[in-house]
Structure 1
Amino acid sequence: MSAYDVFEQTWSSPMPFLFQRRFGTEDRPLTRSYIRECLVATSQSAQITAADQPLEWRPHDFRRIFVTDAIRSGPPPHIAAKICGHSTVDTTMGYAAIYPEDVIAHHRAFIARWWAERPREEYRDLTTGEWDDFLAHFELRKVVLGTCARDHGTPCAHENACVRCPLLRVDPDQMPRLEEIHANLVERLEEAKEQGWLGEVIVIETTMAAAAQKLEAMRTRTAQQTVTHLGMPNLRSALGRSSTDT
């Protein structure tokens, strides 16, 4: 079946709509006007009033109710924003009929409940050995070309071949060193091809590709961080006046 979009003023392509109703001898998708009529009839039947006036419901009101209940339950506003498809959290907070102080209080209560449900051993104090291992991990991440972004407790998957590792964060000051490594790899590749070391050729080519990729990324990052000095504007020239004008 097809549905008519009152905003776009077009008919949709035939599709199995999730919400349908029986109309005569055929099934039709629910329209905005039909949903509004159902809400009005429900409000009148339940005798819901606001300021002694019959309360008028709109489908969009349920979106506000959902956001309010979601934030009151504890999750942070950005989670509700993600669920609702909002591009900014400010839009979500406009939907929530609560004050920011309430948001903070409910979120803290949510965190407290979450901590209470976690195994207690996860919150024990670290031993001296564990803390020393943690600090030593960050010392071992320092390499010649920069810093290794490998997670704590994970082994090196590339056997310290840092040029080929995607986790290497190259220091821009080490670009000349990386260029020397790349040039050396070119010489080694020529020698490997002359000697017929096919296995070595594959390894060198892989390392060269990784080095070239890192060099390109470093050049792009350096170009983006370049500061252009625009100088001081000459207001007299801009106004058509010289220093001798009075």
Structure 2
Amino acid sequence: MPLLFQYLRGGERRRMTAGSIRTLLNRALQNIGLTRADGTALTCTPHDFLRMFVTDAVSNGLPPHIAQIICGHKSISTTMTYKATYPTEAIEAHRAFIARRRSLRPSEEYRTPTSAEWDEFLGHFEKRKLSIGTCGRAFGTPCIHEHACVRCSLLRPDPAQCHHLEDIRENLIARIAEAEREGWLGEVEGLRVSLAGAEEKLAQLGRHIANRDVVDLGIPTIATANHGTLEDRQRS
């Protein structure tokens, strides 16, 4: 059994429950005689060891995002709460990790790019603009959908192009009906995949619009101070 805490009972290896481990830990602390600052008996839980591990690992150079994966946390913020650390300490630990990784990589990977390479890199971002949104494909990678963008999960649809997506959906529905009517079964399957992609993009836009919080700030007013008439100011 791939378990860290086990015990043998009747010739069979069984896992130890969290309650049993907690009892053994507290019993060991009582035998040692450790107490808190106020004199009360010191207690410990198995979960405390996770905090000890994260604190020790990050302090010794383990990148916080790797500790997050080991701990199984969805957010790195949760992992960092397990360690009493300042943001600058986490940043320095990550920079130290990057420096160690770079020292192991070939030096030519970190050379200064040529003008042609830099222009090609900048041109990649200019080509990401599409008629219905923005392509999130990484630099230097080919399009796996042969520019059938409506099928691609990397397409980030533009809310202003919602009407364009609706037209594409209606056109696909009409083409599917025509293909089924004419018996072009070879095209039906591909058209249905594109239709599902278009509907997913429209649903994505719907969720994006629904999640936007609109706050009415009202009409701004200019506060004016009453300084009196010119005669009043002259008297004063």
TM range (shorter): 0.5 to 0.7
Q: Which amino acid aligns with 1:147?
A: T
Query: C-alpha separation between the residues in 1 aligned to 2:64 and 2:24?
Result: 32
Gaps of 5+ in 1: 1-15, 49-55, 233-246
Gaps of 5+ in 2: 35-41, 220-236
Q: Offset at 1:192?
A: 2.4
Q: Please tell me the root mean square deviation across aligned C-alpha atoms, in Å.
A: 4.2
**After alignment, is 187-196 or 169-178 more displaced?**
187-196
Which of 162, 183, 196 in structure 1 is aligned with 2:170? 183
Deviation by residue 1:152-177 (Cα, 9 ceiling, x = unmatched): 11211222222222222111111112
2:134 is paired with a residue whose SS is strand
Q: Which amino acid aligns with 2:162?
A: M
2:113 is paired with a residue whose SS is coil
Higher relative contact order (CA 8 A, sep 6+): 2
Q: Against the structure 1 CA distance between its residues 216 and 119, is the aligned structure 2 distance closer, same or farther, given a 3 Å change threshold?
A: same
Q: Against the structure 1 CA distance between its residues 192 and 38, is the aligned structure 2 distance closer, same or farther, given a 3 Å change threshold?
A: closer
For 1:92, the equivalent position in structure 2 comes to: 82
For 1:112, the equivalent position in structure 2 comes to: 99
Question: 1:175·1:218 contact (CA, 8 Å) conserved in 2?
Answer: yes
Which of 35, 58, 64 in structure 2 is aligned with 1:71? 58
State whether structure 2 residue 101 is matched by structure 1 residue 129. Answer: no
Identity %: 48
Q: Offset at 1:58?
A: 5.2
Query: C-alpha separation between the residues in 2 aligned to 1:187 and 1:64?
Result: 59
Q: Which amino acid aligns with 1:128?
A: S
Question: 2:63·2:97 contact (CA, 8 Å) conserved in 1?
Answer: no
Query: C-alpha separation between the residues in 2 aligned to 1:100 and 1:216?
Result: 37
Q: Against the structure 1 CA distance between its residues 36 and 115, is the aligned structure 2 distance closer, same or farther, given a 3 Å change threshold?
A: same
Q: Offset at 1:40?
A: 6.3
Query: C-alpha separation between the residues in 2 aligned to 1:210 and 1:64?
Result: 44
Q: State the TM-score, normalizing by the size of structure 1.
A: 0.62
Q: Which amino acid aligns with 2:179?
A: A
| Number of residue pairs the alignment of both structures matches | 207
Deviation by residue 1:96-145 (Cα, 9 ceiling, x = unmatched): 7xx77666655544443332222222212222222222222222222111
